[in-house]
Structure 1
Amino acid sequence: MFSKREARNNLEQVQERSRELGSELCDELKSVAGESCDYLKKNPWAGVGIGAALGLVVGVLISKK
């Protein structure tokens, strides 16, 4: 059986690791967002195509009720 102290230590370790992973994920998402923004500035029609395709998919999914 776990003691309260062991459970608390395990909880603190999990919380610390989740904070680290959350920070890493946030940094990675910022990097990807910056790169995609640069790509769309260089290729604006690609953004239009992607938006149209997503709109079509969402429209088909909504109309299948």
Structure 2
Amino acid sequence: MSSTTYTKFLRFLREELALSADSIAIAQRSVEQTQGPLPMLLWQYGLINLHELDRIYDWLEEA
């Protein structure tokens, strides 16, 4: 994912899904350690529900 797309993705998480910067930061640190996909880690940590996970993957598909 390009840095521009990643920036837009983070904005989507904050503005559309109302995730806090702290929640995103926790998941990002985990991505660095486990190399897992950010959307799945957000879901595994209970920061988003399945509907929101689906919205994320829809957004990523269109990006």
TM-score with structure 2 length normalisation? 0.29
Larger radius of gyration: 1
More helix by share: 1
Structure with the greater relative contact order (CA < 8 A, sep ≥ 6): 1 or 2? 2
TM-score with structure 1 length normalisation? 0.29
